[in-house]
Amino acid sequence: MTKVDCFKKFFLKILLQFTVLLSLATGKEKHRKTFPTLTVSHKNIFHHLINGRLTGTYVNWIGHSQMPNGELEPEFLAPLENLTVTQGRDVSFTCVANNLGEYRVAWIKSDSKAILAIHTHMVALNPRLSVTHNGHNTWKLHISHVQLNDSGSYMCQVNTDPMRSQSGYLSVVVPPDILNQPDTNSATQEEGITPEGGTVQLVCSATGVPMPSVQWRREGGKDIVLRNEGRDKQVIKHVDGERLTLHNVQRTDMGAYLCIASNGVPPSVSKRFDVKVIFVPVVRVVNQLVAAPVDRHVLLQCVVEAYPKPLNGWYRHDGTKIYEGPKYQMTEGMINSYTWQMNLTVRNLQFDDFHSYVCSSINGLGKSEARIRLQELRLPPTSTTTPTPYVYTTVKPRRKATQSHIKAATFDVPKIKETVVTNHVQENEIAGAAFEVRLG
């Protein structure tokens, strides 16, 4: 083939493509009625002209608009289904049509009127889109790694005159996600701190499609207490909304609060917020008066409520600090986030051990003490019996009765007025009370 022949062939090809482009742009080409409602991007077609892609298939798709006599009309065998898919997944539309003959199936994004594919050829420059054909009557439009902007109506269209089409809607859903909030003056993103009686406001914003709902709950199923400016309060299990405001906060409100976001698209998500209430230590004794006999062990106990965590200790009546050793054993157990139990065991009691003991607690907000009085318990003498002489008779001798040991002794005396001592040392005013007897 000579250079002249090659040039003629190339020129005719360009002329044909330009004619098609002109007809689509002006609407005067008789085959323009193939897809009368379709708006084709001139830039998109020009791109394919430059790259030599608008060739036979495109011309055939545009040209076959009239129904030949005697042939069966194309028909859709099943509707195009509406689809719902989670963002990031893959999805496919399926179009089933019979009696196509020389007609072509095109895929179109309805809202933008953009041609995505014709037959098995892609038009859209989107690597996530592809089409397949089973060689018979089924065409599929595949969308991989679906994004939110893929939502909308998709059309499967056949270029008859008038054109035939069916549409399906793609809904892209997004699981909920909790957004980080900027720090505030009174709290960090995941923490609320206030003095007792103050106010805490927790904020939790969520995003997702559809828009998530936000609910607040306390960890462990505890109640949420909402207090007004007065004395009225409401005890509930959950609060709806992005903001949780706690007024007149008490130490019992301290703990973890969960922000839970859900929109019907799994999984739901949650975020943990810690509410911390700071207050001066409060010390109370388990028993203000304890009695125990000499040479035994005795256990003294105090309960401390404080936050931040206090420094706790034991002192003798004269202010001497007590340390761990052969004589004393000290343990401390945490009951909850603001309560501790202090234990002091005094071993092998002697007469100089019977006096007052002070349990003390101090944190950055203040100090508190309480006093326990330890008294000697005088045990009654044990009773004995004289053995019965052995007598030679037919009657069996009686066994002697002895009391081998004493398990415990408790004495009833009038009650002590119950006292909670805070921020200072207070002696027990014993008007008489039931006191505990320890026989370690």
pLDDT tens string for the chain (440 positions)? 554 454 444 444 444 444 434 433 433 333 333 333 343 443 344 334 333 333 333 333 444 445 555 578 899 999 999 999 999 999 999 999 999 888 999 999 999 999 999 999 999 999 999 999 998 999 999 999 999 999 999 999 999 989 999 999 999 999 999 998 655 444 445 678 999 999 999 999 999 999 999 999 999 999 999 998 766 889 999 999 999 999 999 999 999 999 999 999 999 999 999 999 999 999 999 999 999 999 999 999 999 999 999 999 999 999 999 999 999 999 999 999 999 999 999 999 999 999 999 999 999 999 999 999 999 999 888 765 555 444 333 334 444 433 333 333 333 433 333 333 333 333 333 333 334 545 45
Domain with residues 189-277, CATH architecture: Sandwich (2.60)
CATH level 3 topology of 75-173? Immunoglobulin-like (2.60.40)
Read off the tokens for 419. Answer: 């006292």
Rounded CA gap, 328 and 290, in Å?
16
Amino acid at 276: K
pLDDT of residue 22: 42
pLDDT of residue 51: 39
Residue ranges per structural domain of the chain: 75-173, 189-277, 286-376
Amino acid at 107: W
Amino acid at 344: L
Select the CATH number that applies to the domain covering 286-376 from these four: 2.60.40.10, 2.70.210.12, 3.40.50.1450, 1.20.120.430.
2.60.40.10
Which value, in Å, is the radius of gyration of the alpha carbons in the chain? 45
pLDDT of residue 279: 98
User: What are the CA-CA distances from residue 130 to residues 123, 171, 399, 411 (Å)?
Assistant: 10, 19, 104, 92
pLDDT of residue 182: 58
Rounded CA gap, 166 and 176, in Å?
33
pLDDT of residue 386: 54
In contact, 160 and 168? CB cutoff 8 Å: no
Read off the tokens for 50. Answer: 């430059």
Question: Half-sphere exposure (CA, 13 Å, Cβ side) for 195?
Answer: 3
The answer to whether the pTM exceeds 0.85 is no
In contact, 292 and 301? CB cutoff 8 Å: no
pLDDT of residue 403: 39
Helix/strand/coil (H/E/C) assignment for every residue in 286-304:
CCCEEEECCCCCEEEEEEE
Within 8 A by CB and 6+ apart from 121, the residues are 57, 131
Rounded CA gap, 79 and 146, in Å?
22
- Say yes or no: do domains 75-173 and 189-277 share a fold: yes
pLDDT of residue 1: 55
